[in-house]
Structure 1
């Protein structure tokens, strides 16, 4: 019991320290990022993807990174960089969490937690898409959590690609509009951002409602009477046959 707890505590401590060091010593503002990657010339876009992915791993906000991408590269290329970077971050976070704490979570989990882990594995892509759409929920911490729950790399990559694209476009376009002064682009970006937030909230509500109406393993609760007897016809017939 002690070793799994220490592994999880070590992972959490490492991430917190890395985040603090990044905030203290690295350029996490749009201007700082631009000064860092523009020196690479034609390779600026791929360098930004890698740098952005690493910064997101230590909890630098995704909206800031996407806005910086739009300010540097415009909406089109900036959007592509943001989506690729987000997908790369999600896969790296999942692999780090799985490597350092995945077995620890299973060792510490009871039956109900294990049921949720199995549910996450079966429906990982849908869970990631919904989480990416819900506003106000940071992606990187949840990517680590998905890794601990056993979501597969392909599931989180596809879920992030689909779920993060609308928000990435909104923030990238806002960054582009802030530099270019394009009011129409700013309005479009705002409308997309609001629409995605509403969609995310609705999907989150539907998912929560569905979970409440099913068991921990995602299946409908069995038809059991308050006294503990089953109402299932086949169970009744079997009992009757045995009595005879």
Structure 2
């Protein structure tokens, strides 16, 4: 199993994602988002989106980028950036799940899984939308698991598009000052 792990592209993708997330987190700790927006102007928008995607696909928190987007760009543009960042990250994680399915022959493992687990409705829209409402891990589980389970890309995309709306609205609204996050 260890040999298979080191031969798999999934392993190296995960290591790369962790490294990128750590670099982005470190960079953000040294730079004020409002300051780089003031310095870069409109060019800060793709930087913000890239940072959001990198953090959202890694285990590092991306909620702060969504909140900062609301504070810096206002609710409308901040929402669009947050939703787009989480959507792109979700598609990347779905692809990582698909890659892991191939690298680790997960289909065979799923066939040997307990009956109750095989009946778990990973491809059901209620699961695909609802799991994203679980704080911290919901976005990751709701993207990687469907990819690894063989959920169709079309169903995944529309459920993801809907499922990330509440978090995008909430975090961007907090940043834009529409919701007082202290109470």
TM-score bracket, normalised by the shorter chain, equals 0.7 to 0.9
Alpha-carbon displacement from aligned partner over 1:23-55 (angstroms, at most 9, x marks no partner): 33x2158x6333445544234334422331122
CA distance in 1, matches of 2:35, 2:119: 43
Other-structure match for 2:150: 150
Aligned to 1:55: 55
Q: Deviations over 1:58-116 (max 9, x none)?
A: 223232121011011111211121111111110012113323x1211224433337973
Distance in 1, Cα, partners of 2:107 & 2:29: 35
Between the aligned partners of 1:151 and 1:76, the Cα distance in structure 2 is: 32
Name the SS for the 1:186 alignment partner: coil
Aligned-pair CA distance for 1:57: 1.4
TM-score by length of 2: 0.75
Listed as ranges, the matches of 1:111-190 within 5 Å are 111-112=112-113, 116=118, 119-120=121-122, 122-123=123-124, 125-140=125-140, 142-177=142-177, 185-187=178-180
Give structure 1 stretches of 5+ with no counterpart.
178-184, 192-244
Contact 2:90 2:160 in 1 (8 A): yes
- Aligned: 1:20 with 2:19: no
Structure-2 separation of matches of 1:135 and 1:95: 22
Structure 2 gap segments, 5+ residues each = none
Give yes or no for the alignment of 1:67 onto 2:67.
Answer: yes
Contact 1:90 1:156 survives alignment (8 Å): no
Residue of structure 2 equivalent to 1:222: none
Asked if 2 retains the 8 angstrom alpha-carbon contact of 1:95 and 1:153, the reply is no
Contact 1:86 1:160 survives alignment (8 Å): no
* Runs of 4+ residues deviating >6 angstroms: none
Matches of 1:23 and 1:9 in 2, distance apart? 21
Question: Over aligned residues, Cα RMSD in angstroms?
Answer: 3.2
TM-score, length-scaled by structure 1: 0.59
Which residue in the other structure is 1:204 paired with? none
Aligned to 1:76: 76
Distance 1:165 1:83 in 2: 7
Cross-structure match for 2:92: 92
Q: Which has the higher contact order (CA 8 A, sep 6+)?
A: 2
Query: Would you say the 8 A contact 1:87–1:161 is kept in 2?
Result: yes
